[in-house]
Amino acid sequence: MQRRTIMKAALTAMTLTALQATTAIAENTILKIGFVGVTSGPAASWGISNQRSMEARAAWINETGGYTIGGTTYDIEIVSFDDQKDPKRAIAGMEKMAQEGIHYVVGPNVDDGAAAVRPVAETNGIMYFPYAFPKSLYEAPASNAVLGMVANYQSGPAIYKYMMAEKGVKTVAFIAANESDPLSQRDGGVEAATALGMEVVSANVTYQVDTTDFTPVLTPIMRTRPDLLVLSGVSPANAPQLIRSARELGFEGVISTETAQDAGVLAEGAGDLANGFVSVGGASTPELASPMMIEFVKRYTDMFGEYNDESNTKVYALEYILETLKADPSGITDVDAFKATMDTFEAPNPYMNGDAKLRYVGMSSFGQKRQVAVPLVVNVYQDGAFETLFVAEVD
């Protein structure tokens, strides 16, 4: 009898809690934001850091009462789709977003996926924020894609110039995975280095995406004795192994990449051998991170158990979408209004100390404002953490 009473009480409590939760959710209108990207396989780290950044920020917004746009308060719902790094799947993902009436999507993560979804996005009135670099996605007549990060052809020259001036670098070697993104980034890097007057001593060496031991791959490059070794488009999974193999083969020059990396992964995979490794990061270094960035990292860590430094750049896309919609609420259903707002939009950057702004850029690279103004933060890895080497802006 007593057990039955306890069970009844528990059931009632559960029902009331569920009702309360439903009521709480139902208080605000739902605003769905999509994510189409790779969350499985060898490149999962890229997409998962995207998805989790969005989910962590959305949960934070919802927990603190929602996001007010034009007098209406919204709860943010992230609708995710794993494209498995397959362009066909990316198209299916974008079609799913269209079916759900979603107008703003973050992703895809790679070049071919971003190119493949363009017709679906343009036909269905979807603005999407890829992490892919082909200029054709952002140059007119294309108008629905907004580059969600700094491209390698923007960060590369800045890094090479710094290396030449500060480290006396004269010769450079490139290595890339045999995939469209890394190969196009390598080609862009070779072009930029040559234009700056560096001597490219090796640019042909490539490796299979699933390579796990890079000693045989790197051996021919080491014979060219470059001052700088560029890991073009390297994934966070491969970076520590490449660094470790290069150092073990006796390479003493500088190693750099134009992709974002994770300090914990470098520490585990390469240890002290990764000291001095230069990469592109976001606003998480102590001198740059605002209290809101620190809070974001904490919430992300609480939610998923571990932070991913790649999210330093990936925290921005959702914020840009919401802030731009706040600037012109008609953008919620009308992406043309959103596009018009992009030209003049400006808001404080909540993730960086100082007077940094959220605004759209890209006039120099694309002839129209189709890039988010993520700070170009170039980091150097040292003893388990990133230190800011220099900060620049893309115009």
CA 272 – CA 9 distance, rounded (Å)? 58
The tokens describing 288, both together, are 């740059």
When the beta carbons of 182 and 362 are compared against another protein, the nearer one is: 182
Which residues sit at the interface with another protein, rule CB under 8 A? 39-45, 48-49, 178, 204-210, 212-213, 215-217, 219-220, 236-238, 240-241, 248-250, 262, 264-265, 268-271, 305-306, 308
Quote the least distance from Cβ 241 to another protein, whole Å.
Answer: 6
Quote the least distance from Cβ 229 to another protein, whole Å.
Answer: 15
Question: Which of 281, 357, 339 is CA-nearest to residue 103?
Answer: 339
Please tell me what DSSP assigns to residue 89.
Answer: H
When the beta carbons of 144 and 379 are compared against another protein, the nearer one is: 379
Are the C-beta atoms of 263 and 243 separated by less than 8 Å? no
Report, in this order, helix, strand and coil percent for the chain, each rounded to 5.
Answer: 45, 20, 35
When the beta carbons of 280 and 394 are compared against another protein, the nearer one is: 280
Quote the least distance from Cβ 280 to another protein, whole Å.
Answer: 18
CA 215 – CA 27 distance, rounded (Å)? 58
When the beta carbons of 91 and 265 are compared against another protein, the nearer one is: 265
Give CA separation, 348 vs 46, 110, 240, in Å. Answer: 26, 29, 35
What is the chain's alpha carbon radius of gyration, rounded to the nearest angstrom? 22
Quote the least distance from Cβ 364 to another protein, whole Å.
Answer: 32
| Residue listed under structure tokens 């973050």 | 106
The tokens describing 127, both together, are 């603005």
Phi and psi, residue 233, nearest 5°: 55, 30
When the beta carbons of 258 and 262 are compared against another protein, the nearer one is: 262
Quote the least distance from Cβ 213 to another protein, whole Å.
Answer: 6
User: What is the SS3 string spanning 279-310?
Assistant: EEECCCCCCCECHHHHHHHHHHHHHHCCCCCC
When the beta carbons of 248 and 287 are compared against another protein, the nearer one is: 248
Quote the least distance from Cβ 214 to another protein, whole Å.
Answer: 9
